[in-house]
Amino acid sequence: EDKVVQSPLSLVVHEGDTVTLNCSYEVTNFRSLLWYKQEKKAPTFLFMLTSSGIEKKSGRLSSILDKKELFSILNITATQTGDSAVYLCAVEAVTGGGNKLTFGTGTQLKVEL
């Protein structure tokens, strides 16, 4: 059974801090790893990583994948209150009936003034 584990489950930081969110996985026929941000309702896409060791960056957010050690990290620098959300990690597996995502339980991030 495919498995995605995120840590920590939740954390509270002050504005301006840097945070690192972790995602480890066990998946048969791995194809990609995706990060999403979920505030109130629908998750919004952040990154998709398919290659090991190549950092993806968007503003203050960045992510990297290690396919040998089976994990990914999401970094957020100079955090702002608007970064408060649940961050979801998902792993795509290749299946006979079409590829599908397995999600972790998420990391709840709260950024305080």
Using the minimum distance from each CB to other proteins, give the nearer residue, 41 or 68. 41
Least Å distance, CB 85 to other proteins, is 14
- By the criterion CB under 8 A, which residues form the site for other proteins? 4, 6, 31-32, 34, 41-45, 48, 88, 90, 92, 95, 97-106
81: helix, strand or coil: helix
Least Å distance, CB 78 to other proteins, is 26
Least Å distance, CB 109 to other proteins, is 14
* Residue 103: partners with Cβ closer than 8 Å, 6 or more residues away: 4, 88, 89, 90
Beta bridge partners of 17: none
Using the minimum distance from each CB to other proteins, give the nearer residue, 83 or 92. 92
Whether residue 24 contacts residue 73, with contact meaning beta carbons closer than 8 Å, is answered with no
Least Å distance, CB 113 to other proteins, is 25
* Residue 55: partners with Cβ closer than 8 Å, 6 or more residues away: 62, 63, 64
The tokens for 4 are: 């995605």
Using the minimum distance from each CB to other proteins, give the nearer residue, 31 or 73. 31
DSSP state at residue 106: -
Using the minimum distance from each CB to other proteins, give the nearer residue, 42 or 113. 42
